[in-house]
Structure 1
Amino acid sequence: MTLERFARLGPQMLAPLLLAAALVLVGLSGPAHAKRQYTGIVVDAATGQVLYDYRPDTLIYPASLTKLMTLYLTFEALRDGRLGMEQRLPVSQRAAGMPASKLGLKRGGSIKVRDAILSLIVKSANDAAVVLAESMAKTEILFAREMTEKAQELGMIRTSFRNANGLPNRHQKSTARDISTLALALIRDFPEYYDLFATRKFTWEGRTYTSTNKLLNGYPGVDGLKTGYINASGFNLAASSVRYGRRLVAVVIGGKTGARRNRQMKKILGIGFQRALEREKARQLVAMPLPPGRPGTGAPSSALAGIDLSVVSSAHAAVPPPPARRADNAPYGVQVGAFSSQKRATAGARLAVSAAPTYLQNRPVAIESIPDTARSIYRARILELTRDEAQETCQTLKSQRLDCLVVKVSAGG
């Protein structure tokens, strides 16, 4: 386009072009002062045990791995009947103005929910992600708040979302551990939709797109999930593989190229399967007690499904009656944080249990509202520990940069 023709464009035509150009420039440069760094994690999906990790709690820009949360909320809406697979969704001016990667959706057009989902998984389409977001919330900004709330609920306590597609935003952060928690949640909560992540090709309006996840054909047993890239984060990948009757979930962040990211993913999946087999043969799986004097070593660090959290929520919440065998010698507990909502307190307790299961697993949990405060505060405590157990548990949690305070629990809480 010549400068003369560009100058003739009216404001309505210029707006989406300028938005797209700005986003592309930001994507090329990345957020200010950003530094690519490698982080990774491998988790056993059945036990939650971490089989490999390297700086898994380092804050990173999730890039298009953000779309995994957009898909999680889409699957929720499908399950709840708020969306239908064949339902057509309108394309707004904002959605149409998204930069690549995109389908090239036109303002005023529409796309089926099924096609939008597949375009996120296969093509990583930024425009389709915004279409889905706007169909579930009035604006993408409001949808991003719902994404963050869901992240907290799932135990992704270091994650904050600002958009639905992962385009650069300095406030959009996550960690490899949190992304693995999200991948595990997708597999656990939506088995009826998980097979979509194995889609290798997707056709839209006569054009066929091939999946950006090359490990679907490049590593045994890989059946999902998704790639991501912005300059600030490097090449990212969340993947799941099933071998020897065991499913592992792995996350690689910060690859220098897509090929090097894929090689690293193959490497850590190999490490993960080898360690899982070795531990199984040696009968040292996470379900077994760890050796005395080393609490928390090798403990799972991802949020686990099925942890029984006995929630107590009253001004002076009573401690649940302890089992007879611990009634006299376990008057201590650990407080793992104070939170703005009961939901976040429960997520915080769940994370603590999964991070230090040696003493915390199967212990009662109390979520207590604190009276006489200007706003609602909920503290999360895990009970029925001896003093030594409580102290060792806090050491384990603090080593993982989680809050912990040893408390002596009276009959009144």
Structure 2
Amino acid sequence: MAARLRLKAISLIIAGSLAATPALAGPSLVFDAATGEVISQDRAGEPWYPASLTKLMTAYVVFEKLKRGEMQLDQKLTVSELASSQPASKVGMRPGSTISVDLALQMLLVYSANDMAYVLAEGTSGTYTEFAKRMNAEAKRLGMTATHYANPNGLFDPRQVTSARDIGVLAAALLRDYPEHAHYFSQAAVTLGKRQLRNRNSLLRQMKTADGMKTGFVCNSGYNLTASASENGRKLIAIVLGAPGGKARADLAEMMLTAGFAKPPQPQQIRIGQIANMELGSVVPADMTSAICKGKPTAVAKASTLTGWGVSFGSYDKPETADMALRGRLLGVRDMVDNSVNGVVRVPGANGFNAMVWNLDQSASLSVCSTFRKQNGYCEVMTPESFASIAALARATEERIQPAAAQETPAPKKKKKVQKKKSP
């Protein structure tokens, strides 16, 4: 009775919240982890940005290495400059320092440390780009047809997409293939020196039967959660994408899991693998930035950073429009633009905002534009000379607008003896 009353109360709270902000109701899914039986789903095949749910695949690849004996839990990994430079949430270890695979996994899955994702990726495959290839190979093998990875920690990249259905497939595979590592997902906290860092999955603290798995958040995706719970020998997994806040995603997952346990198994129900994904690249995922991170403008890259070969997908009146065009175009050529940089650029002396990719080689630039021209889409190849000219003009403009830092920074003040006032 108490469980039913709590379920009703949570339902009313969530319903009211989502009614006020309908755009924040993202895809969702609840299914049986052992049988794959789908209990409920809403738009589970729709593309979405995974954020730190990406770390589930990072862990899957590392678990595979451990199982094969190619890595050891007590093996020490070195923190690189790139790993150390990742933004928070992070452990914050200095370049050159070392950490065990076991502790790096705890930091990855309990505290969601972005730097540890790169430490594990580089320790496994040498570079994060090679590791991303391994992630995509595993996704393909598991049948995650709506998923593409570009980095190991889930920080926003328009090419990095998934679906609730695919995340569910991965979550079930983790529990099925590597049950010996399931404790990482339910661990309450991780200790590093004098610091004790709590698991970011608050559902573990508010729902008695919850036992995993992983949270995710970037402005573009909203608040995501993969949650598992066990009751009377049955384990269910819930996927919540695009929730309006951390508390809301936990409440939604609890409501979905509680309702799922209240239903008896139905052998005739469809299985998770039968959910149809939208074709990868056919639809641009919703961007939740304006709703979740109100007031955050679309980032505009500095034209002075343009290098190498590249492409322009056209000029647009607003940075938001250019950003949407860029996100859509990059999905279509996701495998051609590895190791590149992309962004919305304002070219000095020109109107509008350009959707651009740079730091490519000549072959990749030609291939990208060839692909879009076949589809009657606009694409202009940008040569190193063109970028160098734009970058030089941008640097000159920046120097006129902002004096050099040395000129702006006042000299440190020294204590002075009382002196006569000097005329200005």
Which category describes the TM-score, using the shorter chain as reference length?
Answer: 0.5 to 0.7
Is residue 98 of structure 2 the alignment partner of residue 127 of structure 1?
A: no
* Structure 1 residue 66: Cα displacement: 0.2
Are 1:220 and 1:243, in contact at CA under 8 Å, matched by a contact in 2?
no
* Structure 1 residue 46: Cα displacement: 2.1
Partner in structure 2 of residue 159 of structure 1: 147
Q: Structure 2 residue aligned with 1:191, among 179, 189, 197?
A: 179
Aligned length: 253
Going from structure 1 to structure 2, the CA distance change for 1:119 and 1:173 (only over 3 Å counts) comes to same
Q: Which moved more, 1:217-226 or 1:82-91?
A: 217-226
* Alpha-carbon distance in 1 for matches of 2:233, 2:111: 30
* Alpha-carbon distance in 1 for matches of 2:240, 2:139: 19
Is residue 168 of structure 2 the alignment partner of residue 180 of structure 1?
A: yes
Partner in structure 2 of residue 171 of structure 1: 159
Matched residue of 2:182: which SS?
helix
Are 2:169 and 2:272, in contact at CA under 8 Å, matched by a contact in 1?
no
Partner in structure 1 of residue 28 of structure 2: 40
Find the structure with the greater CA-based Rg. 2
Could you give the per-residue CA deviations for residues 133-160 of structure 1, whole angstroms, max 9, x where no partner exists? 0011121011111101101101111100
Matches within 5 A, 1:67-78: 67-78=55-66
* Alpha-carbon distance in 1 for matches of 2:24, 2:58: 24
Partner in structure 1 of residue 391 of structure 2: none
Is residue 213 of structure 2 the alignment partner of residue 242 of structure 1?
A: no
Could you give the per-residue CA deviations for residues 155-192 of structure 1, whole angstroms, max 9, x where no partner exists? 11110000000000000000001001100000000011
Is residue 270 of structure 2 the alignment partner of residue 299 of structure 1?
A: yes
Show structure 1 runs of 4+ deviating over 4 A: none
* Alpha-carbon distance in 2 for matches of 1:138, 1:150: 17
Matched residue of 2:254: which SS?
helix
Q: Percent identity?
A: 40
Are 1:155 and 1:303, in contact at CA under 8 Å, matched by a contact in 2?
no
Matched residue of 2:273: which SS?
coil
Partner in structure 1 of residue 204 of structure 2: 216
Matched residue of 1:106: which SS?
coil
Q: Structure 1 residue aligned with 2:103, among 110, 115, 119?
A: 115
Going from structure 1 to structure 2, the CA distance change for 1:247 and 1:143 (only over 3 Å counts) comes to same
Matched residue of 2:131: which SS?
helix
Partner in structure 1 of residue 88 of structure 2: 100
Are 1:154 and 1:181, in contact at CA under 8 Å, matched by a contact in 2?
yes
Gapped runs of 5+ residues in structure 1? 1-34, 291-297, 305-413
Is residue 136 of structure 2 the alignment partner of residue 148 of structure 1?
A: yes
Q: Taking structure 2 as the reference length, what is the TM-score of the superposition?
A: 0.58
Is residue 250 of structure 2 the alignment partner of residue 262 of structure 1?
A: yes
Matching residue's letter, 1:127: D
Matched residue of 2:28: which SS?
strand
Matching residue's letter, 1:197: F
Going from structure 1 to structure 2, the CA distance change for 1:186 and 1:63 (only over 3 Å counts) comes to same
Partner in structure 1 of residue 368 of structure 2: none
Partner in structure 1 of residue 45 of structure 2: 57
- Measured on the aligned residues, the alpha-carbon RMSD in Å equals 1.5
Q: Taking structure 1 as the reference length, what is the TM-score of the superposition?
A: 0.60
Are 2:222 and 2:243, in contact at CA under 8 Å, matched by a contact in 1?
yes
Matching residue's letter, 1:43: F
